[in-house]
Structure 1
């Protein structure tokens, strides 16, 4: 690693995943040169970093990656993150690297990669360094570290947010393509809001916590910072998956919708607090106006249970979980800890086992109220933080202002919600403002699809890079979700038709209207209630209008079970060559049916019946 004075600006600053993929396609043999340039551009005096890879550690990763490419016979399709540099919050293990959790006395050399790191390396990503944090991930401020307070990337007088301060900072400046944080009370969202980047807080248990220093094991989640929502979604799917070694890892039940409907219904708190920050209030008002402009229906809900649950995390028995997590170092050497962190951890000793059970009962009750309140909504929108503070203000009120930052984040993991922090605007003082969308567990992809649309509607720079989002990013389609089945419907299940409820009650989402290949005939079947068509493949057919719907994978079997003979589900070819699941008809029903291919679709046929003159 060259000394700080020898660092040069990286030509890859602010690259998105798409740009990294383009780079390696055009220069497939540049892996070693490229990553050496990236590492050489980083400064050891930048306190957003706690540890940078040595030349030897980088070379070891490159050799392994070249082996993976050789095994793939040069194809990078199995390595979507090939050669992409990323940063890791220093409470996650990387084999052979130190882990400090921002407490030098706690430091140890990890024996193995954390599961999320191993998953990302298997997809081709390369760890370039480990980042600063509020000690033991305790704080939303970014100032509680012996390695120094990480400064806001837009104005160094202000805080960066925490606890994942370093990860947000290096990402916002475009030094890496993505970074990992952790989020217990908002640590993956508040820094995103303060630095104008995307912060994905996934459903608890989707990304493994094996190899992650715990803050509160019941509520910890590995989080992701990126410059674009699409990149966050890609990284999450690469990093996530069930891990039997993590007692709190979960398998996705595949029952949640994978997208919002065309006209989303989003909840908003009935009373939004900004602690006197008029610029934050104006920014949130602007964001809600923009949501309405884009067809979102906003409806207020009682925010009381959310607020009460948020207060429990630091002002109730839940703080004792942090005491347990810190463990021996607090018991044996408390003087080596940050004073504010030590004080918070010490409060856990004030609670009994009985207090802990009462806290859990209250959590469950409030969580139930929250999830019931969100029924019928696609998401809840809140300010990512109600305000921002200067470094000096944080010195004066380290606990109070930290608590203020968390009023829209602290309840999320306690209530088992997924969350996506999004940039929304730059305030009049030049600081970023952001919104966060929250939804029940496993709605991560639905949040991301909407977040992609939201980000496209803005004219904001990417993080603090000053770079604009390139038009090609707008045109990159959302990935097909493995958590759903795309089904083409042709008749009574179309929007507004009698059986459409069989889709919507199973959280299916309409994707688009299109047509089949010109190789199908359409028939009106005899003696069906409600009336139904039959679609049959034919050599001399026509293109027939269909709607594509994404049905959650676990609900697909229920849907198919309701389909009566002579209909069934098979594979349909669309006009653009895609193959999807769709309605087909058994041949035995065709002789008694009426051919209606000339209408081009079922809806046109039904309209023709309704417009026919009544016979006397």
Structure 2
């Protein structure tokens, strides 16, 4: 892998746009690497090479500057629909031909990506080990005796081995993070609902998310930005603005477990390397704050000891009844237990989970993120085959609770242990803070000096995101200027940056005005007579702020808005004399929900 062969998404796209390498050449190189690597267990279905190259050649007809993934080869876990490929979920008896792409794949293709194949997985995404598939066991990209990690085994190995720079996995209990650690790559588990799951074979439908494997945090964040966004085809989709990567923050507070709470199952190497990772965070300027890990352990136990196993049962109950032998024995044993759960047990678990979520909220009130081992230890394939359920369960020690608590996560390589086995850490934060985690993880990963994946690719120096200028002015928007709404392009044309999603103090009313395009009006009222309204905060340079405000038509105005956390920010308000002809839509809690309701009528 010479310097003339770009490896990361950023380098590949730059080379394609510069014309030093064509997308067709990159795709051809991908297929040659797959042949050279010679592991038939990585892909369940590989696209015809000539067809992929032909698609890459057609990209020349498009505007390369408008395609963030221009000519990037991508592998897709085979429980995610991609047109032209059967979806098997690693079970031939379940296989079907999708009529269209999943939303995630559709958005990747629209960004210029070339889908080259469907990757192997623990059958029906049940497992963290990567050995539960009738299509074989992908070899770990660093050490062939180690498990590849699962359930997204083929996707992680494909990136770790340098076959593709980007792949899609899924993550319900850690399937997008554990394989990332075991292959020395980045695993991004987004906030629930940020990437549409339309076209995904469910594992636990209320907890599933599509995840990203890449060599660098920046590459993973770019892929997330392409796929993120609400989707009417997915009832679990959420409109969660992604935000932008920022410079490494000052006064960073990271939560670490209290003394004696960490579990490594006797693995002294992993324990030592976690300690070294914490020293690295301290050297980067973070303050480490102890928190109680026990409620998270309790939450993790709910995932497989509670009613969520019934969600897995729902997916394959017909197959269990008609052709049980078509299902992997371990998958069958785990999933069949879901049929025995009662409604009373379900509600009992939901009540306890709500209490645990409140405890987690209090934990995050004191820290910006948690930093935990991605997994407590590692195992060889032989060890897991000899003790398949217990060892798999151990690997989920620090991952199983994450989606139950509605957290986002970023798994980042931390070190190469003394015995040549990779070790990684995971950053966790409340949903919606994905960009913040990327801002932290990219700096930590670069500081490790580790090479990327298994092929010794050297990390390029990270590009520091532009810091906000001292004269930048935040502005709160509540309606047509929100992300994805009719007038958001006006902000983007002024190079505005999305800072965060927030809410007003509970002292506001929102009105639908009679304007074209439709706009709302925000009015502050007496305490107790209003509600908390959703908004976004964008940042503009002083000059751009002046242009923006100067173009605002009546009855809109800029005033001071009080946020739910007590901050004051400039933002859109309305002149009250026009409200006699407006509709009070305060009960919707925000403009998006109101407009979604209008669209239904």
Structure 2 length as normaliser, TM-score? 0.77
Query: Who is 1:572 aligned against?
Result: 542
- For residues 396-435 of structure 1, the aligned pairs below 5 Å read 396-435=386-425
Which structure has the larger Rg?
1
Q: Distance in 2 between matches of 1:584 and 1:316?
A: 53
Picking from 545, 552, 557, the partner of 2:500 is 552
CA contact (8 A) 1:266 1:297 kept: yes
1:289-368 to structure 2, matched below 5 A, reads 289-368=279-358
Q: Which whole-Å deviations, capped at 9, do the CAs of 1:374-426 have from their partners, x for residues lacking one?
A: 21211001000001011111012111111110010000000000000000000
State the partner residue of 2:465: 478
Equivalent residue in structure 2 for 1:91, among 70, 74, 79:
79
Q: CA deviation at 1:436?
A: 0.2
- Residue 26 of structure 1 deviates from its aligned partner by 3.1
When residues 221 and 117 of structure 1 are mapped into structure 2, their CA distance, relative to the original with a 3 A threshold, is: same
Alignment of 1:595-614 (within 5 A): none
**Native 8 Å contact 2:247 2:464 kept in 1:** no
Partner of 1:129 in structure 2? 117
Offset, 1:50:
1.1
What's the secondary structure of 1:111's corresponding residue?
Answer: coil
Compute the displacement of 1:488 (Å): 4.0
| 1:25 alignment partner in structure 2 | 17
Describe the shift of the 1:571–1:249 C-alpha distance in structure 2 as closer, same or farther (beyond 3 A). Answer: same
- Sort the Cα spacing of 1:302 and 1:409 in 2 relative to 1 into closer, same or farther, 3 A: same
Equivalent of residue 55 in structure 2, options 34, 56, 61? 61
Match of 2:130? 142
> Aligned pair 1:52/2:42, yes or no?
no
Which of 147, 156, 159 is residue 159 of structure 1 equivalent to?
A: 147
| CA distance 1:91–1:319, change in 2 (3 Å) | same
The match for 1:251 among 225, 239, 242 is 239
Aligned counterparts of 2:105 and 2:549: Cα–Cα separation in 1:
45
**SS state of the match for residue 245, structure 1?**
coil
Q: Deviations over 1:279-303 (max 9, x none)?
A: 0101101101111111111111111
What displacement does 1:317 show?
Answer: 1.6
The residue that corresponds to 2:94 in the other structure is: 106
Q: Residue 364 and residue 444 in structure 1: after superposition, are their counterparts in 2 closer, same or farther (change >3 A)?
A: same
Q: 2:459 aligns with which of 469, 472, 479?
A: 469
Partner of 1:483: none
Matches of 1:60 and 1:319, distance apart in 2: 43
Shift of 1:41: 3.0
Indicate whether 1:173 and 2:161 are aligned: yes
Shift of 1:37: 3.1
Q: Does 1:275 align with 2:265?
A: yes
Q: CA deviation at 1:128?
A: 1.2
Secondary structure of 2:371's counterpart equals strand
Shift of 1:31: 2.9
Equivalent in the alignment of 1:184? 172
Structure 2, unaligned runs of 5 or more: 477-495, 508-521, 525-538, 551-601
Q: The residue matched to 1:40 in structure 2 has which SS?
A: helix
> For residues 78 and 261 of structure 1, do their structure 2 counterparts lie closer, same or farther at Cα, with a shift above 3 Å needed?
same
Q: Secondary structure at the match of 2:202?
A: coil
* Paired residues of 1:489 and 1:582 also in contact (CA < 8 A): no
Which residue is equivalent to 1:220? 208
Asked whether the 8 Å contact 1:171–1:225 carries over to 2, the reply is yes
Kept after mapping to 2: 8 A contact 1:167/1:181: yes
Mapped to 2, the partners of 1:479 and 1:63 lie a distance apart of 34
Give the match's secondary structure for 1:87.
Answer: strand
- Deviation string, structure 1 residues 546-576 (Cα, Å, up to 9, x no partner): xx99742546999x999xxxxxx98525xxx
Deviation track 1:469-493 (CA, whole Å, cap 9, x = no partner) reads 123xx2x24389xxxxx57459xx9
Unaligned runs of 5+ in 1: 1-8, 481-485, 494-499, 504-547, 563-568, 574-578, 586-616
TM-score normalised to structure 1 length:
0.75
CA distance in 1, matches of 2:248, 2:367: 10
Q: Distance in 2 between matches of 1:353 and 1:296?
A: 45
The match for 2:196 is 208
User: Matches of 1:183 and 1:310 in 2, distance apart?
Assistant: 14
Whether the 8 Å CA contact 1:178–1:224 is kept in 2: the answer is: yes
Q: For 2:76 and 2:33, locate their aligned partners in 1 and report how far apart those are by CA, in whole Å.
A: 17
Contact 2:28 2:53 survives alignment (8 Å):
no
Q: Compared with structure 1, are the counterparts of its residues 570 and 196 closer, same or farther at alpha carbon in structure 2 (3 Å cutoff)?
A: closer
1:454 aligned to 2:444? yes
Q: Name the counterpart of 2:527.
A: none
Aligned partner of 2:595 in structure 1 is none
Q: 174-183 or 148-157: which moved more?
A: 148-157
> Secondary structure of 2:429's partner?
strand
CA distance 1:479–1:555, shift in 2 (3 Å): farther
Tell me which residue corresponds to 1:529. none
Superposed CA offset, 1:49-97 (max 9, x none): 1111113541563366344x0xx4xxx2210111011111111111121
Alpha-carbon distance in 2 for matches of 1:154, 1:52: 22
| RMSD after superposition | 3.1
Question: Which residue number corresponds to residue 374 of structure 1?
Answer: 364
* Equivalent residues of 2:469, 2:541 under 8 A apart: no
Residue 265 of structure 1, aligned match among 253, 262, 265 = 253
Match of 1:595 in 2: none
Q: Is the 8 A contact 1:172 1:197 kept in 2?
A: yes
Corresponding residue SS for 2:402: helix
- CA change 1:123–1:581 in 2 (3 A) is farther
Which one is further off, 15-24 or 123-132?
15-24
Mapped partners of 2:222, 2:85: distance in 1: 26
Correspondence 1:464-543 to 2 at 5 A: 464-471=454-461, 474=462, 476-478=463-465, 488-489=470-471
What's 2:28 paired with? Answer: 36
